[in-house]
Amino acid sequence: MSDVPGIVVTGASGRMGQMLIRTVMESDRAKLVGVVEREGHDWIGQDIGTAMGGAPLDVTVSDDPLEVIAKAHAVIDFTAPAATVEFAGLAAQARCVHVIGTTGMTDEDLAKLKPAARHATIIRAGNMSLGVNLLVQLTKQVAAALDEDFDIEVIEAHHNQKVDAPSGTALMLGEAAAEGRGVSLDAVSDRGRDGMTGKRERGHIGFHAIRGGDIVGEHDVLFAAAGERITLRHVASDRAVFARGALKAALWGQGRKPGEYDMLDVLGLRKD
Ligand SMILES: NC(=O)C1=CN([C@@H]2O[C@H](COP(=O)(O)OP(=O)(O)OC[C@H]3O[C@@H](n4cnc5c(N)ncnc54)[C@H](OP(=O)(O)O)[C@@H]3O)[C@@H](O)[C@H]2O)C=CC1
Ligand SMILES: O=C(O)C1=N[C@H](C(=O)O)C[C@H](O)C1
């Protein structure tokens, strides 16, 4: 057991943080070596198992990411953009794998990952599930096959605690559709509609976000033309699918050269 990769989970008390900790603990291919929470959090100094309401796991919640990440083979990070940028710098110092599930990152945040990727193996995706990454490839394929007579709309639904919109997954799907069509998403993206918007512009890709209750994550890509429409849909009903994907990425990254990768690389789904 001691020769399996040591994993650190950041944002330990979060919805994904707790799911990731359980997933790593259940695996015989990885070992939980540290968990990080924000300075001042109630859980700091407690055993993570106890803090999560279960049996002790012999791992103490730390507010010192530098010290914890230094002993990791991989950091799995589903937190918030500013924290993720900071953790990328620490993963680079530790020369380890940084799996990033955090969404809502701006172009400026993403630019800050570049220097870190010279030393860390960064695997980042707005969705770590196998199903969504397959849907990304299908979306690209369908968009390439259809012309602009088909209007493309991406509709996503999430729980009422989500802070960013459109979801990272919706943006991945929109990028895939734009790539399939050979256009830049920035040039054709319509983020929601409200008021006297005018008629829909041919060739544009629309995004719509529903927020409610405890919805884990649902994504539809609609291709609508006169007389017919196609919907590609993914429904996540359990966060475990994201956590399993993230752990797979952390293991895949071991021994891989530094740089930026995504789940298409991990899952062997990349076609170009
Ligand atoms: N790629 C994927 O497959 C998936 C991505 N996500 C993304 O993962 C992220 C987290 O989602 P979720 O778990 O639902 O969110 P939560 O709010 O439940 O958890 C976020 C955690 O990160 C911690 N955190 C935030 N900022 C900092 C900071 N500056 N330093 C240290 N810790 C920090 C929070 O601590 P505190 O509570 O103290 O703020 C909290 O523990 C989101 O961006 C979400 O979109 C989610 C699911 C799947
Ligand atoms: O915040 C969430 O919960 C999720 N976020 C990711 C996203 O923004 O796409 C992935 C998943 O849909 C759940």
Q: What is the pLDDT of residue 88?
A: 98
197-208 pLDDT, tens digit per residue, is 999 999 999 999
Q: End-to-end alpha-carbon separation of the chain, Å? A: 37
With 80 as the cut, is the pLDDT of residue 250 above it?
Answer: yes
Give the chain's domains with CATH numbers: 6-128+239-267 (3.40.50.720), 130-236 (3.30.360.10)
- What is the residue with the minimal CA distance to atom 10 of ligand 2? 127
What is the distance in A from the centroid of ligand 1 to the CA of 128?
14
- Catalytic annotation present for 114: no
Q: What is the pLDDT of residue 270?
A: 86
21-47 pLDDT, tens digit per residue, is 999 999 999 999 999 999 999 999 999
Please give all residues whose beta carbon lies within 6 A of any atom in ligand 2, as ranges.
103, 126-127, 158, 162, 167-169, 217
Question: Which-ligand-closest: CA of 266?
Answer: 1
Please state the atom number of ligand 1 nearest to the C-alpha of residue 13: 41
Kind of pairing between the strands at 228-236 and 205-211 = unpaired
Query: Are residues 167 and 158 in contact, defined by beta-carbon separation less than 8 angstroms?
Result: yes
E strands of 94-180, at which residues?
97-100, 121-124, 151-158
Question: Which-ligand-closest: CA of 215?
Answer: 2
Among 77, 78, 167, which residue has the most ligand 1 atoms within 8 Å of its CB, making it the best to mutate?
78
Q: What is the pLDDT of residue 2?
A: 64
Averaged pLDDT of the chain: 97
- How many angstroms separate the CA atoms of 80 and 163, rounded? 10
What's the pTM value of the predicted model, to 2 decimals?
0.98
Question: Which-ligand-closest: CA of 128?
Answer: 1
Q: What percent of the chain has pLDDT over 70?
A: 99
Q: How confident is the model at residue 1 (pLDDT cuts 50, 70, 90)?
A: very low
- How many angstroms separate the CA atoms of 88 and 97, rounded? 9
Q: What is the pLDDT of residue 271?
A: 78
Three-point CA angle 23, 28, 34, nearest 5°: 60
- How many angstroms separate the CA atoms of 22 and 25, rounded? 5
Q: Is the dihedral of CA 109, 110, 111, 112 positive or negative?
A: positive
82-111 pLDDT, tens digit per residue, is 999 999 999 999 999 999 999 999 999 999
- Catalytic annotation present for 158: yes
Please give all residues whose beta carbon lies within 6 A of any atom in ligand 1, as ranges.
11, 13-17, 38, 41, 78-80, 82-83, 101-104, 125-128, 168, 242
Q: Binding site: what residues are annotated?
A: 11-16, 37-38, 101-103, 125-128, 159, 168-169
131-190 pLDDT, tens digit per residue, is 999 999 999 999 999 999 999 999 999 999 999 999 999 999 999 999 999 999 999 999
Please state the atom number of ligand 1 nearest to the C-alpha of residue 101: 1
* CA distances, 232 to each of 135, 200, 219 (Å): 7, 21, 8
- How many angstroms separate the CA atoms of 157 and 59, rounded? 35
5-25 pLDDT, tens digit per residue, is 999 999 999 999 999 999 999
**ipTM entry:** 0.98
